[in-house]
């Protein structure tokens, strides 16, 4: 998983809209590294704008040191360490994260070596749970999404960034918008934001409702290598509910139901 221009731009936008919880404990499924398509000088400016005032000076100093180090020859292990450290600063900037816990079988030594295919109980819950490029690599999809639900506080935010189109043989799965609309409906999540995102060049298209994807498909405006970014707010402490696809549970509009049949 990585923080690309998609995640950076969207989280920055949500922070500007005061839509991100602040001062939270944060859990990431898959330990993120830094993709490298966001200018660190722009990140410096955003630290000055969005970081907690008490953290601002130290974060700016650290990032300035990173920029200078990256301008010199580095061993691969040194560069990798910096790439894994940058997302933590990103979380501290935009979420004011007070603690960060990562689960990753292939992450740094700080990550918890836990298998997301199996039930996990960390004995605590989090204000933000991130699934950025991780669930597609886990066979047991039920358990991944239940783990996120169970570890999110009531009122907490769950953020998913997962492949939609393309990403050939990248993971076990690509995900459709209906997956998240139906997941949200079954568990009464608030859909804070859903969009299609392409990394290069950066392109973001918001999906306002179920019909949005029909409109994009009709205009042949869905790219070849697209991610879905979905931010969901969990408003309650109820048990996780397995969704039924909206077509079969008769939750679709007449237009969406017709498209389900006609766009195959």
Could you tell me if 30 and 53 are in contact, meaning their C-beta atoms sit under 8 angstroms apart?
Answer: no
Q: According to the model, what pLDDT value does residue 264 have? A: 79
Residue 203, pLDDT above cutoff 90: yes
* Average pLDDT estimate for 18-46: 96
Domain boundaries, the chain: 2-262
Rounded distance between C-alpha atoms, residue 176 and residue 196, angstroms: 11
* Average pLDDT estimate for 27-41: 96
Residue 131 is given by DSSP the state E
Rg (CA), the chain: 19
Of 166, 102, 153, 98, nearest in space to 132 by CA: 102
Residue 22, pLDDT above cutoff 90: yes
Q: According to the model, what pLDDT value does residue 1 have? A: 80
% of the chain exceeding 70 in pLDDT:
100
Rounded distance between C-alpha atoms, residue 49 and residue 70, angstroms: 23
Q: According to the model, what pLDDT value does residue 170 have? A: 96
Residue 91, pLDDT above cutoff 90: yes
Span 46-76, pLDDT tens digits: 999 999 999 999 999 999 999 999 999 999 9
Rounded distance between C-alpha atoms, residue 154 and residue 143, angstroms: 19
Average pLDDT, the chain: 96
Q: Chain centroid to CA 224: how far?
A: 20
Residue 263, pLDDT above cutoff 90: no
* CATH fold group of domain 2-262: Rossmann fold (3.40.50)
Rounded distance between C-alpha atoms, residue 65 and residue 58, angstroms: 11
pLDDT bin (cut points 50, 70, 90) of residue 23 is very high
């Amino acid at each position: 998983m990585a923080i690309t221009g998609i995640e950076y731009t969207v989280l920055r936008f949500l922070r500007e809209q005061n839509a991100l919880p602040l001062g939270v404990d944060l859990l990431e499924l898959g330990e993120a590294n830094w993709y490298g398509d966001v200018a660190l000088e722009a990140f410096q400016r955003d630290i000055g704008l969005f970081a907690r005032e008490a953290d601002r000076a130290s974060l700016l100093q650290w990032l300035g040191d990173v920029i200078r180090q990256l301008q010199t020859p580095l061993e691969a292990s040194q560069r990798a360490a910096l790439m894994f450290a940058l997302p933590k600063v990103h979380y501290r900037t935009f979420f004011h994260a007070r603690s960060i816990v990562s689960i990753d079988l292939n992450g740094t030594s700080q990550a918890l070596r836990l298998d997301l295919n199996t039930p996990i109980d960390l004995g605590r819950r989090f204000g933000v749970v991130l699934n950025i490029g991780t669930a597609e690599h886990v066979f047991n999809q039920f358990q991944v999404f239940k783990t996120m639900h169970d570890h999110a506080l009531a009122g907490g935010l769950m953020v998913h960034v997962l492949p939609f189109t393309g990403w050939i043989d990248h993971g076990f799965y690509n995900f459709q918008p209906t997956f998240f609309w139906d997941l949200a409906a079954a568990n009464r999540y608030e859909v804070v934001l859903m969009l299609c995102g392409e990394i290069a060049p950066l392109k973001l298209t918001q999906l306002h409702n179920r019909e949005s994807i029909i409109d994009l498909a009709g205009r042949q405006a869905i790219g070849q290598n697209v991610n879905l970014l979905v931010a969901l707010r969990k408003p309650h402490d109820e048990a996780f509910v397995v969704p039924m696809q909206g077509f079969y549970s008769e939750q679709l509009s007449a237009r969406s139901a017709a498209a389900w049949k006609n766009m195959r």
